[in-house]
Each structure stands twice: as structure tokens, then as C-alpha cells.
Amino acid sequence: MLQSIPCALMRGGTSKGLYFLSEDLPVDIAQRDEVLLAAMGSPDFRQIDGVGGAHPLTSKVAIVGPSTHPDADVDYLFLQVVVDQAKVLDVQNCGNILAGVGPFALERGLVNFASDETEVVIHMLNTGSLCKAKVQTPGGQVEYEGGTSIDGVPGTHAPISLNFIGLEGASCGALLPTGSPCDVVDGVEVTCIDNGMPVILIAAESLGISGYETPTELEANESLRARLEAIRLEIGPKMNLGEVSSKSVPKISIVAPPRLGGSISTRTFIPHRVHEAIGVLGAVSVASALAVSGSVAEKMLAANMKEGNHRLVVEHPTGSFIVELDMSLTIGLRPVFSKSAIIRTARMLMDGQVFVPGHIFE
């Protein structure tokens, strides 16, 4: 007998996934993960027996519930359901799926509507940091339609602003988890940074590529993929992430000088597939690296960034991503970010129930 579970299928930013109320899923983590694997159809590279989209960007889950943080409205746990393995990972945040959390919380009555715009303060359980999401709510309902476009998503939609609080070192314990703006691994200079997402930055030229290749071209380069994974496995423990062979962090962002008038160009491994764009928090970390003196990214700027507010444009395979940073400098010229903000959009795609095998609950 199949068991039904209430949920919504939503697009958040350039990702897509299932959104659940925490009360609708098993408390036992192993049983919960079995439910999510069945719902998505993993492990199977097509996810044919579930609602997953056969790609890491469309095999994601948000679990939302009442806040356990005194300064937040709701709790949000992000889970990555691995497509071709029976694994559910909780080691990272997802800023794209985060874009749908505010609308979902409002739709489910976890937060009361304000006026034309409602602020939802989200406690991100994966890292303990907070995000203030502003959702368009004219007439006491979530507005998904609007004139805002984001690269990687067709059409225009209502804007959702995300202002992050306390991102620095949220996963690794420090903005520069190795203690250095630049390390050398396998003869290659790398910058390890965590301002919302643990990311390893590597200059494309040091890998013998342009950095402007398509995701398909990069995924077909087996020798490059093997070298990048070797670098990731070696530096991961030094980023305070432990052994990372089975983890979805750190990501690797190959960077190059901008070509479209932006601040920097990127190609991001997440970590084994190449992102068609770039993750929200990954973009924040890359933009933050531009402010770090001596980093791989900073070397691509004509001049050092100064204190104040900065609007940085991170180029990616399908366009660009705007990140706003408000920065001050310590005595050692290390940046401190009081603001990390971006604009995303989200859309409710389907609301109802997902069915999983009933034996999971026996």
C-alpha cells in the first residue's frame, strides 16, 4: 500500500525540489531519508520511479518548520538527495532552494502576511546562520508573477530579496579556513573560502584551460575532473570539513577574467557535475574572495576593493549573478562582511502529495 505525504514542488532560483513541513516527515533520520530517496526515485540515474529531475539541481529537498531560533520565524533544513546513490546529504546550505522557503512558509501559515511585502527570517539549520527573505505579498497572498529575471530561468517573476546574516565561516569555522588567502595543491594555487558555501577557487589558466568552456565540455574532460577531485580530497580536511569524498562540499569554482563586463567569470563543479549557472551561496563566496588580498580571485581585479558597499557581478555559463557586499577591513586588511545580499525568484509548481512505498513506515 502506498503512503501519501503532503508537500509542494517548487522552483527556487535555478534549482527545483520538494518542500515539506517538518511535522509531515518521520523524526527518525534513517526513515526520513528512506522516504526522500523513494520520493525522488534514487538511486537511479534517471530517477524514473520518483519526481526527481535526474540532476543534482533538481533533486533537492527543503524541510520547513517552526523556528527554534529566538530571532527567526522558521527553521529550514536543506537536503541534497543524490541521484545515483542511496544518499541524502545535509552538509551544506542551498541558497536557491532557500528562495522558496519564505513563500512556502507563508503558504503553509507558518508566518502571517504583512502588507505588500512580508519579511520572513529563516534559520538555516545546516549552518546555524540566518537569512531575511522579503516576499511580495499584495492582498495577503504570495505573488509569484513579476518583472524580475534571473539568468538560468526563463521569463520573469516576482523578486525575492535574500539578506544573509552571519555567513562567514558558517561551515568551516572561518572565512579563510586554511588560514591563508592562497595555498598550493598539486602545484596549483587555490583559495579556500567560506562565506556561506565552502568553495575552492582555482584560476583556469593554471589548469591549462580558458575557463570559458561549456559545462558539457568540462564534464567530458576526464583528466581535468580527476585532477580537480584529487585537489578537493587533499584540501577538504584542511578546510575543517573532514574527509570529503562522499560529501557535496567543498565546491570547486574555476575562475577567469570576466568577458561580459562583470567582476569575474566562473565554472563551478558541485562537486562532480558542472553547474549550468552558479549556486547562490557559492556566488557569495566567490564574490567575497574578490575582496581578499592575495586570493586567486583578487589577482584578476584591476584594483583592490575598499571598505563600503560593493555590487559585484559573477559571470557563469548561462549569464551572470549579482551579489551585494558591505565590507569593512580589519587591521590585517582581512575583510569583514556586514551584508551579503542577492535577488532570486521562486515559483510554486505543484502542491499536493507525493507517494512512497508504505513498507517504509512499517
Is a pLDDT exceeding 80 seen at residue 303?
no
Is a pLDDT exceeding 80 seen at residue 170?
yes
Residues 196 and 322 in one domain: yes
pLDDT in tens, 28-58: 999 999 999 999 999 999 999 999 999 999 9
Instruction: Indicate whether 171 belongs to any domain.
Output: no
Instruction: Indicate whether 38 belongs to any domain.
Output: yes
- Residue 305 confidence (pLDDT): 80
Query: Which cell numbers hold the place of 67?
Result: 523556528
- Residue 288 confidence (pLDDT): 95
Q: Where are the strands (E) in 52-169, listed by range?
A: 60-66, 74-81, 88-89, 117-124, 129-136, 160-165
Residues 20 and 148 in one domain: yes
Residues 83 and 147 in one domain: yes
pLDDT in tens, 211-241: 999 999 999 999 999 999 999 999 999 999 9
Instruction: Indicate whether 77 belongs to any domain.
Output: yes
Instruction: Indicate whether 165 belongs to any domain.
Output: no
Instruction: Indicate whether 113 belongs to any domain.
Output: yes
Query: Which cell numbers hold the place of 163?
Result: 539578506
| CB-based contacts of 149-155 (< 8 A; 24+ apart in sequence) | 149/345, 150/13, 150/14, 150/321, 150/343, 150/344, 150/345, 151/277, 151/316, 151/318, 151/319, 151/320, 151/321, 152/13, 152/14, 152/276, 152/277, 152/316, 152/318, 152/319, 153/11, 153/13, 153/14, 153/345
Residues 249 and 279 in one domain: yes
- Residue 304 confidence (pLDDT): 72
What are the distances in angstroms from CA 214 to CA 14, 261, 266? 17, 19, 11
Is a pLDDT exceeding 70 seen at residue 297?
yes
pLDDT in tens, 77-123: 999 999 999 999 999 999 999 999 999 999 999 999 999 999 999 99
Residues 150 and 225 in one domain: no
**Residue 91, domain extent:** 2-159+346-361
Instruction: Indicate whether 121 belongs to any domain.
Output: yes
Model confidence, pTM: 0.87
Cite the DSSP H helix spans in the chain.
Answer: 29-40, 95-98, 101-107, 215-220, 222-235, 280-289
- Residue 306 confidence (pLDDT): 84
> Residue 230 — φ and ψ, nearest 5°?
-65, -40
Residues 36 and 116 in one domain: yes
pLDDT in tens, 322-336: 999 998 887 566 888
Return mean pLDDT, the chain. 95
- Residue 282 confidence (pLDDT): 96
Residues 121 and 255 in one domain: no
- Residue 299 confidence (pLDDT): 85
Region 271-290: mean pLDDT is: 95
Is a pLDDT exceeding 90 seen at residue 301?
no
Residues 337 and 353 in one domain: no
Alpha carbons 297 and 257: distance in angstroms, whole number: 9
Integer-rounded Cα Rg, in Å, for the chain is 20
Residues 352 and 219 in one domain: no
Residues 131 and 207 in one domain: no
Q: Which CATH number covers residue 126?
A: 3.10.310.10
The total domain count for the chain is: 2
- Residue 331 confidence (pLDDT): 58
- Residue 84 confidence (pLDDT): 96
